[in-house]
Each structure stands twice: as C-alpha cells, then as structure tokens.
Amino acid sequence: MDGYQEHDGVGLAALVARGEVTATELLDASLARARRLNPLLNAITVMAEEAGRSAIAEGLPDGPMTGVPFLLKDLGAEAVALPTTSGSNLYKGTVHTYDSEIYLRLKAAGLVAFGRTASPEFGIGPVTEAGANGAPTRNPWNTAHTSGGSSGGAAAAVAAGIVAVAHGSDGGGSVRIPASSCGLVGFKPTRARLPDGPGAGEGWAGMAIDGFLTRSLRDTAVLLDATAGPDLGAPYWPPPMAEGFAAAMNRDPGPLKIAYLTTSFSGDAVHGDCRKAIENTAAALEGLGHHVDEFRGTIEIRPMMRAWTNIVACGTALAVFARSKEPSAYEPKLDGVTRGAVRMAAGLSGADYLQSVSVVHAFGRQMAGQMADIDVLLTPTLAEPPAKVGRFRPDNEDFLDYRTGPDGVFAYSPFTAAFNASGQPALSLPLHWTDDDLPVGVHLAARFGDDALLMSLAAQLETAMPWRDKQLSLIRKLDT
C-alpha cells in the first residue's frame, strides 16, 4: 500500500473501515517495511507473521483499531500466538499457555499483532542492547545513538514507520525514555490504570505498567481507552476516570498551575537542548493561558532511587529464579548487568525489600504534598539527548553503580522513575530536536489519578507545537 508508513493508527483504521484498503494489505506493507529496515535497526526480535495472517483469516473484531498492524514488546503481554524471549537467552523461545488481559483487550480493539520488539534483558536498562538480541537496537534518527529502553525496539519500529503504534511497558521510564529518544508520544498512566494479569498482579512493587509508543496523541488515547480498567482479581486500582482519554483530548483543561524545572530534582544541570526545550514549552503554555512558574519545592530523590534499585534487583532475581536457581546454569546465559542485579538481590533480606517498598510509598506521599498547589510538573524527559550506542551496554556487574553511579542510568534519566515510584500519570512529548536532528522529549506529570487532565493539556500542546511534520521528515528520509 502506497503511503502506509505516513498514517497514524487511527488513520489506518479509518481506511480499513471505509474499504479503501484491507487488513491484509496493511500487514503486507508493514512486513515489507520491517524486512527492509529491521536489519538496520534491530527493532523486531520475534517475527510471527502467521499469527497476524491467522487473526485476519479468522475475522477481526469491530474495534477502534481494526486492521492496524501491531507489535508487542518482547517482555510481558503474554500471548499464546507470539513467543517471547524477555530479552534473555534464559527465556529464548518461551511459548505461553495463556493470553494476558492486556493482549486480549488489544486484540478486541482489532489490532493485528505479528511480532515482538526488542527489550534489554528483563527490561532493566535505558537502552536496548541485550546480548540475546544479537546486536543493539538503534535510533532511526541517527543509528549511532540508542533508541532508548526498555521499550527501545517498539520506539524504533514506530519512528521508522514499520508500524504506526506498538506496545511498551514502563517501570522506570521505559515508555517515556524511548519516546524521548525517538521523537514519539509515550504516556505512563496512573498506577494500575491498565491490567497486569492473569500472570501477575503488579510489577516491581506496583511501579511497572504497560503503555504504548505512538506518533500521534490520538493513537495513544484510543489505545488507552481500549485497555484501561482493572482485570479480574486486581490487587488495587486507581480512581475511576470521569471521561475517557479520547474525550479528554477534546476538552479544554482550563487555566492550570504549571511548575517547571530546568535542572534535575537534585539541582544538577541538564544538557542545553533539554533546558531550551523546557523554556520553549513553558513559554508556549503561558501563551495558552496557564499560570507557569519555576518549581520551588524540594524533592528528595536519592533515597527513593536507591530503594527503586533494590526492588528492581529483587524483581530481576525473581525472573531468573523462575527458570533456574543454580548460578552455574543461569549466569552464563545472562548479561553482566543482570548477573549484578541477581547478586545484589542475594545480599538483601526480606526486611530490606519491605523497607525499600516503604521508602517508595513514602516518596509517593512526598510527591503528593509537593504537587498539592500545582496541577502539572514540567521537566525534561532525559538530562540529555539520546546517548551513543554502547554507553550503557549491559556489562557492568555492579548493579548499584550501573543505576546510581556518577555516570549511571539515574544521572542520564533523573526524572522518569520518580513517577513510577509515586504512581502518578506522566508522559513524554516530542517537542524539541537538536540542531543535528536528535529528539529531545518534554516530560509532564499530573497528580495521582489526573490522567484526563494530563491528556487534555497534551492535546493543547500538540496543536500549539505540532510535531507530525518532523516525524514524517524521518520516515521520508528512510524512504529515499
């Protein structure tokens, strides 16, 4: 199909609904683009073409995304028809015996899933460079740079036009970091807004949640509306929304109190382009009638970051021990960072783990207090443009240093994990590019449960600071 790659998901679904194109033609176009671009990007790790063709042959449901090609992240979102590796040689060729609730909801929306996108091992990195994937996943804007992580394969595939929309997940920024890196929309809903079962009730003590990588805000809204709501037996769920995400896009949020930061929470400087992105966005928001001022609160981030690292180390060990508890059997199959996480977990007691959860929950209360008098907090998504490939390669076996060292992950991404810990809704929008065409995301977070308000504000920004033409410039460049 000519021009497939320039449509967003809602646009493709409209073509199918009008009979201008068939689901099979869309799948063929997506597969052709994947075959051409995936050797360059290494975005797709599991191809399951027959799963997509079988879904079409069986008859697609009438949903908001009927016929749209789709990719699941190679982590979570269990689906019988799509094997997974979880980014690990330990899980190579895993075939699930059940479909996850989020996959069933995506399937009911009419999406045609035909593969899985690259993830770092068990999702524990801000880049996608797992040894099990054979090569790093690269950024289509500049292949010397990372596409981000842990949903880096999804972001590369969407930015390059292989698919219009893709599944991701976010436990410390893993949707928002690749969205920033690849010039996309990445929305992390309020904790437990999306289902996590039946295989689990929560991930990483409630800090992890599914999400999507898209080029348009309306695609994100439609996908969130299609999947939101607790599944059976969910251990908890967030405040219900008075309106859906798509409806919120069409509502003026009214004048809001917005506070912004041009440094990290700890006062550390960020890259000049990240600062410029915030200054430009703050000016645009003020022009839209919002009250915009510098953030004057105090957020104690470092204790939370240490607790976050403890919890993720324990979660990683849980994933490894589900396959083997014998180091001589599992260690040779793991990346160095993963081995380090498992060893760190071994030095933590049950009391240490529970204390870490308590620190994270206390941080959520701190954030609620800090935002009592503001509606939205505006920061860069990352402290700098996307890193070069190899800078965060997964070979550092000191997991604490990898995460919190002076040149570690938290120095590079000092903002995103805060909102996994607090459970607040947060998103990255593609509002800035460097002079050499590297994307720089702008990050906005609202109070717990205020997903609709955040979506309304994001829609205002998409109109005031449109990004579609910039995204299409990359897609067209890849076509030359």
Tell me: the pLDDT tens digits for 145-155? 999 999 999 99
Residues 104, 55: Cα–Cα separation, whole Å: 12
Report the DSSP pairing between strands 112-117 and 138-139. unpaired
Mean pLDDT of 411-418: 98
Model-wide pTM > 0.75: yes
Q: Nearest Cα to 202, choosing from 171, 223, 228?
A: 171
How many residues appear in the chain? 480
Count Cβ neighbours within 10 Å for each residue of 427-449 and write b for 16 or more, e otherwise.
bbbbbbbbeeebbbbbbbbbbbb
Is 266 among the residues known to form the active site?
no
Sheet holding 44-47, edge to edge: 44-47, 112-117, 69-73, 165-170, 209-214, 185-188, 426-433, 439-446, 376-380, 257-260, 291-294
pLDDT(325) > 80: yes
Residue type, 363: F
90-93, long-range: CB < 8 A, 24+ apart: 90/320, 90/323, 90/324, 90/330, 90/333, 90/334, 91/323, 92/132
Point out the catalytic residue in the list 30, 86, 150, 181.
Answer: 150
Q: Which residue has the tokens 């079409």?
A: 56
* Count of other CB atoms within 10 angstroms of residue 137: 33
Q: Is residue 223 scored above 90 in pLDDT?
A: yes
470 catalytic residue (yes or no): no
Verify whether residue 174 is a known catalytic residue.
Answer: yes
Among the listed residues 73, 107, 188, 333, the single catalytic one is 73
Q: What is the percent of the chain with per-residue pLDDT over 90, rounded to a whole number? A: 99
Q: Phi and psi dihedrals of 20, rounded to 5?
A: -80, -15
Answer yes or no: is pLDDT of 397 > 90.
yes
Is 159 within 8 Å of 129 (Cβ atoms)?
A: no
Contacts for 349 with CB less than 8 Å, ≥ 6 apart: none
pLDDT at position 356 is 98
| Cα distances (Å, whole numbers) of residue 258 to 25, 189, 399 | 45, 19, 35
Indicate the average pLDDT of the chain. 98
66 confidence band (pLDDT: 50, 70, 90): very high
Cis ω on the peptide bond leading into residue 264 (within 30° of 0)?
no
Dihedral sign, Cα of residue 256, residue 168, residue 106, residue 232: negative
Residues with Cβ < 8 Å from 152, sequence gap 6 or more?
Answer: 43, 117, 118, 119, 120, 127, 128, 137, 146, 178, 181
Mean pLDDT value of segment 110-116: 98
Which of 86, 174, 428, 456 is the catalytic position?
174
Give strand ranges (E) for 92-160: 112-117, 138-139, 142-146
In the prediction, which pLDDT does 293 show? 98
Closest CA to 333 of 344, 319, 314, 347: 319
Task: Set out the domains of the chain in order of their start, with CATH numbers.
Answer: 4-302+354-479 (3.90.1300.10)
51, pLDDT greater than 80: yes
Question: Are 153 and 46 contacting, i.e. CB atoms less than 8 angstroms apart?
Answer: no
| DSSP for 40-52, written as a single string | HH--EEEE-HHHH
Residue 35: pLDDT over 80: yes
The pLDDT assigned to 307 comes to 98
Q: Does residue 1 carry a pLDDT above 80?
A: no
Query: What's the CA angle centered on 167, arms 165 and 173, to 5 degrees?
Result: 110
pLDDT, average across residues 261-267: 97
Query: Per-residue pLDDT for 357 more than 90?
Result: yes
**Whole-angstrom Cα distance, residue 253 to residue 5?**
32
What are the tens digits of pLDDT across the range 274-306?
A: 999 999 999 999 999 999 999 999 999 999 999
- Angstrom distance (rounded) from CA 278 to CA 283: 8
In the prediction, which pLDDT does 285 show? 98
CA distance 395 to 398: 9
For residue 15, give every residue at least 6 positions away whose Cβ sits within 8 Å of its Cβ, in sequence order, or none. 7, 21, 26
Confidence of residue 18 (pLDDT cuts 50, 70, 90): very high
Secondary structure (DSSP) of 260-272? E-SB-TTS-B--H
- Token pair 């609620």: residue: 368
Report the pLDDT value the prediction gives residue 390, as an integer from 0 to 100: 98
Render pLDDT for 69-103 as a digit per residue (tens, 0 to 9).
999 999 999 999 999 999 999 999 999 999 999 99
Q: Which of 201, 203, 161 is nearest to 184 (CA)?
A: 161
Residue 2 has what pLDDT? 83
Burial class (CB in 10 A: 0-12, 13-18, 19+), 18: exposed
Tens digits of residue pLDDT in 421-445: 999 999 999 999 999 999 999 999 9
How much is the average pLDDT of 233-242? 96
Distance, CA of 227 to chain centre: 15
pLDDT of residue 232: 96
